[in-house]
Structure 1
Amino acid sequence: MKQLNILLTAVALLLFTQEQAHSQIKLSDIFKKVTDRQSSSATSAGAPTTSEIGLGIKEALQLGVSAGADRLSVKDGFLGNLAVKILMPPEAQKVEKTLRGIGLNSLCDNVITSLNRAAEDAAKEAKPIFISAIKQMTLTDATNILLGKTDAATEYFKRVTSAQLTEKFSPIVTTSLNKVNATKYYSDLTTQYNRLPLVKPVNTNLTAYVTQKAIDGLFIEVAKEELKIRGNINARSSTLLQKVFGYADKKKS
């Protein structure tokens, strides 16, 4: 009887071991099938469609121009940003140097501050113009931007929005220059300088100067955002952006 029990126990252990091995094989097979299916799914995703490229580029640019315009349209958006800060007009920089040399620093500082405040006011109107340009973008435009140079989107905006921005900004800048006394400060500055003996009188169209500088500053910020989303994977905040710009990465590698 004792020997019979030992034999039965041995058989049971053998059957259990075989069952476990068979189970492991099945689990291994299942895992392989799941992995293969995931790999196949990823491969089938392939390149984005033309429609996806259009939607992805528009999403990216809307995020970029919104961020850039928002940064510049607040107090010190221009004045506190060395990359876009508006300085004296070139023809007035000699004036500034001369007047600072005779102790009129405050007058020069007031002019520079007021020029930047005017640009900050104007920048508030930039976003709708950029968004309109994005909505009108064709699928060909979107593809060319995606696969183009690192500043392809910025160049697109320069081409299609510069005239509108100038038209929209000019009256705002004029109003703002007067509101923040920039016109008066600049008039005081040039008057002081023009009174000096043997100097060439300085006259500047402040509205045109600040308008162009404000637009230049916007494009600098848009270029930063474009470069960020092209080069920083973490800036691709949606599945669509990851797919579209991931495709562009592969095409350019």
Structure 2
Amino acid sequence: MIKTIFTLILSVSFLSCAEMQQIANQFPEINQSNQLDIAGGLKEALNNGISKQVSKLTAVDGFYKNEAVKILMPEELQKVDKALRRVGLGSLADDGIKMLNRAAEDAVKESTPIFVDAVKQMSFADAKNILMGNESSATTYLQTTTTSPLYAKFNPVIKSSFAKVGADKVWSNIINKYNAIPLVKKVNPDLTDYTTNKALEGVFKMIAVEEKNIRTNINSRTSTLLQKVFSLQDKKL
């Protein structure tokens, strides 16, 4: 992810002459003669950055079988899960959880264009702060700039996904059966909003994994471009 960001902001098409001079002054190792090479690495950087981790989440079981991001029942429904299992309805609870994760997997497919747009809007000051920042600076930048548009994209996809796989009916059945148990406090959660937010949380968690890896593991810098850019970071440590 971080290589995507720094590659793009070094591209000739996104930097003014003043910014180019600022880069030359700040980082003499990166001179003007190799700018076109750096710009040409954009597709590689995007694929190896954003796509490397985020694309994993779009696969079947990308959320469901990844314990780091698996979506469980919301807190107010933890008691629902326990109650259903006590009365022999554990498979119904499992189906409900699986459908939350399937919806998240569908939604994340909408994320890449939004990330690409956010990277294109990055300023030189943003890039310098990210490169010389902490191990999650790029992830934090993307959270700040993409959370709102990602939510707007994810939410209707998740709602549609629930309907497509019949999750709305499964969850209605789960909640109705729970609410029918004597003496329980009835629940009616907004599962679309909950799943949307958990999907966003999972996306940024996986991006942070990749960012930390490329910052701290020299062996993960598999191209000349990455080695060049992050040698600058290493010298500042």
What TM-score, normalized to structure 2?
A: 0.82
Identical aligned pairs, as a percentage?
50
Residue 149 of structure 2 aligns with an amino acid whose one-letter code is Q
- Is 1:191 the counterpart of 2:176? The answer is yes
Equivalent residue in structure 2 for 1:236, among 192, 215, 221: 221
RMSD across aligned C-alpha pairs, in angstroms?
A: 2.2
- Look up the match of 1:93: 78
Name the structure with the higher helix share.
Answer: 1
- Look up the match of 1:149: 134
- Is 1:65 the counterpart of 2:76? The answer is no
Q: Cα distance, 1:85 vs. partner?
A: 0.3
List per-residue Cα deviations over 1:127-149 (Å, max 9, x = no partner): 11111111111111111100001
Alpha carbons of structure 1 residues 193 and 246: separation in structure 2 relative to 1, 3 Å: same
- Look up the match of 1:247: 232
Supply the distance in 1 between the matched residues of 2:129 and 2:46 (Cα, whole angstroms): 14
Residue 73 of structure 1 aligns with an amino acid whose one-letter code is T
Matches within 5 A, 1:78-227: 78-227=63-212
- Look up the match of 1:37: none
Q: Cα distance, 1:238 vs. partner?
A: 1.8
- Look up the match of 1:21: none
Residue 249 of structure 1 aligns with an amino acid whose one-letter code is D
Contact 1:77 1:120 in 2 (8 A): yes
Contact 1:48 1:247 in 2 (8 A): no
Q: Secondary structure at the match of 2:62?
A: coil
What TM-score, normalized to structure 1?
A: 0.77
Supply the distance in 2 between the matched residues of 1:188 and 1:143 (Cα, whole angstroms): 52
Q: Cα distance, 1:101 vs. partner?
A: 0.9
Q: Secondary structure at the match of 2:69?
A: coil
Q: Which moved more, 1:180-189 or 1:205-214?
A: 180-189
Supply the distance in 2 between the matched residues of 1:90 and 1:226 (Cα, whole angstroms): 30
Contact 1:61 1:226 in 2 (8 A): no
Residue 151 of structure 1 aligns with an amino acid whose one-letter code is S
Q: Cα distance, 1:232 vs. partner?
A: 1.4
Residue 30 of structure 2 aligns with an amino acid whose one-letter code is P
Alpha carbons of structure 1 residues 148 and 62: separation in structure 2 relative to 1, 3 Å: farther
Q: Cα distance, 1:63 vs. partner?
A: 2.5
Q: Cα distance, 1:55 vs. partner?
A: 6.1
Q: Secondary structure at the match of 2:49?
A: helix
- Look up the match of 1:48: 30
Alpha carbons of structure 1 residues 176 and 144: separation in structure 2 relative to 1, 3 Å: same
Ranges in structure 2 where 5+ consecutive residues have no aligned partner = 1-26
Q: Cα distance, 1:197 vs. partner?
A: 1.4
Supply the distance in 1 between the matched residues of 2:118 and 2:199 (Cα, whole angstroms): 18
Alpha carbons of structure 1 residues 214 and 49: separation in structure 2 relative to 1, 3 Å: farther
Supply the distance in 2 between the matched residues of 1:200 and 1:174 (Cα, whole angstroms): 26
For this pair of structures, how many residues does the alignment match? 207
For the pair shown, which has the larger CA radius of gyration, 1 or 2?
Answer: 1
Contact 1:119 1:214 in 2 (8 A): yes
Q: Secondary structure at the match of 2:68?
A: coil
Q: Secondary structure at the match of 2:234?
A: helix
Contact 1:85 1:116 in 2 (8 A): yes
Q: Cα distance, 1:48 vs. partner?
A: 3.4
